Amino acid sequence: MVCRIGILTGGGDCPGLNAAIRAIVRRADRSHSITYGFKSGWKGVLEGQVEQLTVASTRGLLHRGGTMLGTSRVDPYREPDGVERIRDALEVHRLDGLIVIGGEGTLSASRHLWEDEEIPIIGIPKTIDNDVGGTDLTIGFLTAVRTATEAVDRLHSTAESHNRVMVLEVMGRHAGWIATYAGMAGGADAILVPEVPFDIDAVGRHLKHRAGVGRDFSIVVVAEGALPQPGTMELAEPPKDEFGRPRLGGIGHTIAHEIETRTGFPARVTILGHVQRGGSPTPMDRVLATQMGVRAAELAMDGAWGTMTAYRNFGVVPVSLAEATEHLKMVPADLFAVAETFFG
């Protein structure tokens, strides 16, 4: 069916968003459907900031990081008359529905807008955290893993020269996907993730054991949301951001200090931060975003609202927004067990 589709990117940006926007526009255009891009996530929908997208206006985007539409963490449910203003935007531009490219927060709002308000939405999962349910991969994750792995590799050589412990803190919020993948890819000697509360004494023992067998340097990768086993170590309460969410970041300093105290080995900290969200998407992220964008446009034109594009077995299939947002997707125990084989 020929249709009129609104597109927005919400939540934290990541590499591959532009590739997804380009793919939606191209696929829609082939079927004579029309696309509109809302600026700055839900904010643009609520405030009527929108422009028509064309094949010409979305050329040259495939390799570019960030999002040409801009993004924000504005949640329509926390804004006055948020739902009504979304309905108005759809009506004013005579849109059949929206394709929302977002992470867990944006997709959860989308699910409720669909289930409770019957606002037609197709979701595309993106986040470097890779924690959206129902899909093996989210757009942006593999590029963040490449960046973090490169950091581990670089830390390796300087750690070895100085006989130091290098602590690398990576993002991931509630999930340890980036830490696990980059740690495994870079040969980390310990990986600390939210899924497996850590014992800092055991980490110290590992590193001492390594030194005992002649390995005088170590790499520790810690996810920003890693948690100690209860009663083993104190962590400071994180401050809140402007949306009331804990602003994570900084656990690496505590870990380095605790390691120095326990082992006497000199430790240094690198907090990779938003570097992980920037840069050009990897080929795999470009392909994933393209597959998902094309499929999302087709789902919209088929009227399959309330679904999200999910990556499974190298293909993209629709899953319900409900399935996608029911639970956060955490690092499975068997994958982490593989990583643990190489600790110490």
Nearer residue to ligand F6P within complex by CB, 212 or 244: 244
Distance separating alpha carbons of residues 251 and 248, to the nearest angstrom: 8
Return d(Cα 277, Cα 183) in angstroms, integer. 18
The CB-of-174 to ligand F6P minimum distance in angstroms stands at 9
Taking the complex as a whole, the smallest distance from the CB of residue 14 to ligand F6P amounts, in Å, to 7
Residue 146 beta carbon to ligand F6P: minimum distance, rounded to whole angstroms: 15
Asked if 97 interacts with ligand F6P (CB under 6 A), we say no
Contact call for residue 128 and ligand F6P (CB under 6 A) = yes
**Does the protein bind ligand F6P through residue 169 (CB under 6 A)?**
no
- Alpha helix (H) residue ranges in 31-103: 42-47, 82-92
Q: How many residues can be counted in the chain?
A: 344
Active site (annotated) includes residue 129: yes
Residue 201 lies near ligand F6P (rule: CB under 6 A): no
- Environment class of 340 (CB within 10 Å of its CB; exposed 0-12, middle 13-18, buried 19+): middle
Q: Which is nearer to ligand F6P, 29 or 79 (CB)?
A: 79
Among 103, 120, 194, 293, binds ligand F6P (CB under 6 A): 103
Stretch that binds ligand F6P, among 26-34, 125-133, 150-158, 228-236 (CB under 6 A): 125-133
In the complex with ligand F6P, which residue's Cβ is closer, 275 or 287? 275
Contact in structure between 218 and 190 (CB atoms under 8 Å): yes
Report the 10 Å Cβ neighbour count for 327. Answer: 12
Site for ligand F6P in 261-300 (CB under 6 A): 277
Between 224 and 298, name the residue whose CB sits nearer to ligand F6P. Answer: 224
The correct pick among 24, 61, 171, 190 for binding ligand F6P (CB under 6 A) is: 171
Q: Is 316 in the site for ligand F6P (CB under 6 A)?
A: no
Minimum CB–partner distance for residue 172 and ligand F6P (Å): 5
User: CB of residue 138 vs ligand F6P: minimum separation in angstroms?
Assistant: 10
CB 263 within 8 A of CB 212: no
Does 173 engage in binding with ligand F6P (CB under 6 A)? Answer: yes
Point out the catalytic residue in the list 13, 75, 96, 129.
129
| Tokens 């293909």, located at residue | 315
- Running DSSP on this structure, what letter comes out for residue 11? S
Across 221-253, b (16+ Cβ under 10 Å) vs e yields bbbbbbbbeeeebeeeeeeeeeeeeeebbbbbe
The type of residue at 148 is: A
| Enclosing H/E stretch for 190 | strand 190-192
Q: Which residues carry out catalysis? A: 129
